């Protein structure tokens, strides 16, 4: 039997050579895949079949917290391809505004445009001032619009109607938009007096 063979892990070098020419950190096998395959993986891993319920405790998926390159590549997929669902109480859109602000900050650091898709359930009482603040946020791009659909409850339909008015008055002053919203308030208030309080 021959002498044992020693395997070397790499070329020999002295310690001063290692500090002068540091090796690049090895990248993961995942990041070595072509971008098209990685995009398919991000979609498979991050796009939900149903809506993503947004609560104050919502965290980004763990995949987005693994490394900077994955975060940069996959963040837009998570934000753009999912439908985010909010439980709105008393027409208070504070959670929606906070989520949109956070999402925009994440995306702007990556230099990307963002279109969020979302919906909400309206619960609680009809609160006109909160709805007007929400419309103000929609007008300034700080919140998204709730689109009219058949599955909205009564409060959701009023919110959707107010949100339909807001972009229609985008070229007008806020006072003109607010006047149109007041017309909606009085029309709806005839059927549901709580909106007039």
Q: What tens-digit pLDDT sequence spans the chain (197 residues)?
A: 444 433 333 444 444 544 555 555 557 888 899 999 999 999 999 999 988 888 888 888 999 998 988 988 898 889 888 888 887 788 888 888 888 888 877 776 666 555 666 666 667 778 899 899 989 988 888 877 776 667 677 888 888 889 889 988 989 999 999 999 999 999 998 888 888 88
Residues 6+ apart with CB under 8 A from 142: 97, 100, 101
60 to 37, 46, 55, 75, 76: CA distances (angstroms): 22, 10, 12, 9, 12
* Residues 102 and 84 sit within 8 Å (Cβ to Cβ): no
The set of residues, in sequence order, having a beta carbon less than 8 Å from that of 10 and lying 6+ positions away, is none
Give exposure, 72-96, as e/b (b: 16+ Cβ within 10 Å).
ebbbbbbbbebebebebbebbbebb
Classify residue 2 by burial, with Cβ atoms within 10 Å: 0-12, 13-18, 19+: exposed
Q: Please compute Rg for the chain using Cα positions.
A: 26
* Cβ-proximal residues to 154 (8 Å cutoff; 6+ apart), any chain: 122, 192
**Contact of 161 with 134, CB cutoff 8 Å:** no
Contact 194, 125 (CB under 8 A): yes
pTM of the model as a whole: 0.67
Helices in the chain by DSSP H: which ranges?
15-20, 29-32, 35-46, 68-81, 94-110, 128-139, 154-168, 174-191
Nearest to 167 by CA among 188, 146, 189: 146
């Amino acid at each position: 039997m021959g002498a044992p063979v020693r395997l070397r892990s790499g070329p020999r070098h002295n310690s001063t050579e290692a500090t002068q020419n540091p090796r690049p950190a090895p990248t993961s096998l995942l990041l070595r895949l072509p971008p098209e395959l990685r995009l398919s993986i991000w979609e498979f891993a991050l796009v939900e079949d149903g809506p993503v319920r947004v609560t104050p405790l919502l965290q980004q998926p763990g995949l987005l917290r693994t490394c900077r390159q994955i975060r940069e590549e996959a963040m837009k997929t998570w934000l753009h391809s999912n439908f985010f669902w909010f439980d709105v109480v008393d027409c208070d859109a504070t959670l929606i505004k906070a989520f949109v602000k956070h999402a925009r900050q994440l995306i702007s650091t990556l230099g990307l445009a963002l279109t969020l898709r979302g919906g909400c359930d309206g619960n609680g009482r009809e609160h006109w001032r909160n709805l007007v603040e929400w419309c103000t946020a929609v007008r300034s791009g700080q919140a998204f619009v709730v689109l009219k659909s058949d599955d909205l409850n009564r409060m959701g339909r009023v919110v959707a109607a107010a949100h339909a008015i807001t972009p229609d008055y985008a070229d007008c002053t806020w006072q003109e938009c607010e006047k149109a919203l007041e017309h909606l308030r009085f029309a709806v208030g005839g059927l549901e007096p709580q909106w007039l309080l």
